[in-house]
Amino acid sequence: MGAEPAPAGPSSVDGLRDRALLELAAARDAGIDGAADYLSVLRAEPDALWRDGGPRHLTASAVVIDAPAEHVALVWHRKGRFWVQPGGHLEAGDPSLEAAARREVAEEIGLDDLERVGPGPAVLHRHALSAAFGSCREHWDVQHLFRAAAPAAELTLRPSDESPEVRWVPWPLLSTGPERSVAELPEGTVEDMPEKLAAIARYLSTSS
């Protein structure tokens, strides 16, 4: 989820906004649900890239799977008190939404040798926030799918201050797929995680 971002200058804001618009346009062209709405918001509200850009704003996250796609990495979100994929707010210096997601993954679980699955964002997911998140009322999350270079058993995840617990969770295929089991999700997993993982499973089946 990262540290509080430093103020961004006009060039960095414009550059990130332009790149984000290209990434979201690619998602729209790839048929990702909701991409047109995201494009409309960002065009109308350029400050929606930032934590202090208003009660609704974009965030970047990633579903990280191991090399055989049999496990998914989850973090314990200290503020929200739930298990979820790594991610958070954009920061000054992030050149793109994908780069922001990669930074969050490196900070929260310690992995950086990751392959992007597919041409761009895998899922676009809007969700309301509780009072624990202060002035933030709604996150418009841009979720990428990243694949690690080895099986989960060979990759140790590293916790962080914001995510004091991290774990690989089994995510096996059901029969021939693309559906996958979420039976091993830990107690306290964020409520909409099965829905997000179902969308990721469909995306993975057409992008591998």
Q: What is the pLDDT of residues 148-197, one digit of tens each?
A: 999 999 999 999 988 899 999 999 999 998 999 999 999 999 999 999 99
Q: Does 91 reside within a domain? A: yes
Q: Does 188 reside within a domain? A: yes
d(CA 69, CA 35): 26
Q: Does 36 reside within a domain? A: yes
Question: Quick one: pLDDT at residue 12?
Answer: 63
Instruction: Scan for tokens 């991409």, then name that residue.
Output: 35
Q: Does 76 reside within a domain? A: yes
Q: Which amino acid is at 96?
A: S
Q: Does 1 reside within a domain? A: no
Question: Quick one: pLDDT at residue 162?
Answer: 83
Question: Quick one: pLDDT at residue 38?
Answer: 95
Number of domains in the chain: 1
Strand partners, 122: none
| Residues spanned by the domain of 179 | 10-207
| 24 close to 35: Cβ distance less than 8 angstroms | yes
Q: Does 2 reside within a domain? A: no
Q: Does 3 reside within a domain? A: no
Could you say which residues of the chain have pLDDT below 70?
1-13, 129-137
Whether this model's pTM surpasses 0.95: no
Q: Does 66 reside within a domain? A: yes
- Across 190-202, b (16+ Cβ under 10 Å) vs e yields beebeebbebbbb
Question: Quick one: pLDDT at residue 103?
Answer: 97
